[in-house]
Amino acid sequence: MKVAVVGATGMVGQMMLKVLEERAFPVSALIPVASIHSVGKDITFRGETYTVVSMEDGVAAHPDIALFSAGGSVSKEWAPAFAATGCVVIDNSSAWRMEENIPLVVPEVNSDTLTAEDKIIANPNCSTIQLVVALQPIHQQFGIQRIIVSTYQAVSGTGMKAVQQYYEEARGEQEVSRVYHYPIYANVIPHCDVFLDNDYTKEEMKLVHETRKIMRVPDMPVTATAVRVPVIAGHSESVNIELSKDTDADGIRSLLEKAPGIKVYDDPGDNKYPMPGLADGRDAVWVGRIRKDESRDRCWNLFVVADNLRKGAATNAVQIAEHLIEKGILKAEKQSDIAVSEQ
């Protein structure tokens, strides 16, 4: 299968290449694509060197799949051009997520929405992905009536320049390449993305709207607070949910232990709970601190952690491609080469 990675030199693009290799995705030809500033650079995939090409050359190569992580404006301009050749675009930006006829997909939750007519598929926001993976099994069994979520998001979610700012500040450098309005090293900033007219940030409203779309509950009450923390990789979320039915902690815990894509790590007596350091480099969504909200009936607290560059971006995109092949929407040369495990 001919695979283009658009934004191949960026943090998520590099992770997409790594995940494609790790999961033995059936790549017969790789087309690394990036902006004009990166054209001509070399990247390595499966021990071989590939030269980065332009958007025009990427389209002309007629890939079967294009994994996009190049920003919303680039996606708006170029995703339709790739799709017009018959290519299936899986886009990691926010450009297409809330378009009515574009599927917004987390494979563990709503892969059944994928059809052969879908030429542009949206990859959700990193913080949304881990949230819905953790909540969907609970919603199916007990019915969620309300979601309150506070996120603690790593600097890598903003990109390479934010990581650079963190390290420069950690070294005590005087001249810092500042991405955030304030220092992030040894600090916490309750500000992810831009503020909107309702005083929520765009990131917070992504959690609201995307969760409703993916879980197929358009009127689900969701409220969010998104916070940037001095962690390089791994988003954490404190989640409070109100259920329609009674259950207990063991009922929620056993349900999540059986669910795809989830690692339950929940033993406070032994100091076992999800942390970014545990999720770093892994694809699972980690869930712990499962406990009853004693202030309100049928309400529960969870702590949810995932690697934002992997399950929150690259891995989810590759899993979407795997499901397209598994469902026969895309044809791979050798079906046995496909890794379709739900880690």
- pLDDT tens profile 226-272: 999 999 999 999 999 999 999 999 999 999 999 999 999 999 999 99
Residue 202 CB burial class (10 angstroms; 0-12, 13-18, ≥19)? middle
Amino acid at 260: P
Enclosing H/E stretch for 40: none
- CA–CA distance, 9 with 36 (Å, rounded to integer): 12
- Give the pLDDT confidence score for residue 338 in this predicted structure: 40
* Whether 62 is catalytic: no
SS3 content of the chain, % helix, strand, coil (to 5): 35, 25, 40
* Whether 235 is catalytic: yes
State the CATH class of domain 2-95+311-337: alpha beta
Q: Taking the domains of the chain in order of start, what are their residue ranges?
A: 2-95+311-337, 127-308
Mean pLDDT of 312-330: 96
Superfamily designation of domain 127-308: Dihydrodipicolinate Reductase; domain 2 (3.30.360.10)
- pLDDT tens profile 146-177: 999 999 999 999 999 999 999 999 999 999 98
> Does the structure show a pLDDT above 70 at 114?
yes
Q: Do domains 2-95+311-337 and 127-308 have the same CATH topology?
A: no
Which member of 87, 139, 192, 235 is catalytic?
235
Give the chain's radius of gyration (CA, Å): 20
- Phi then psi for residue 168, to 5 deg, are -65, -40
Which member of 87, 126, 139, 192 is catalytic?
126
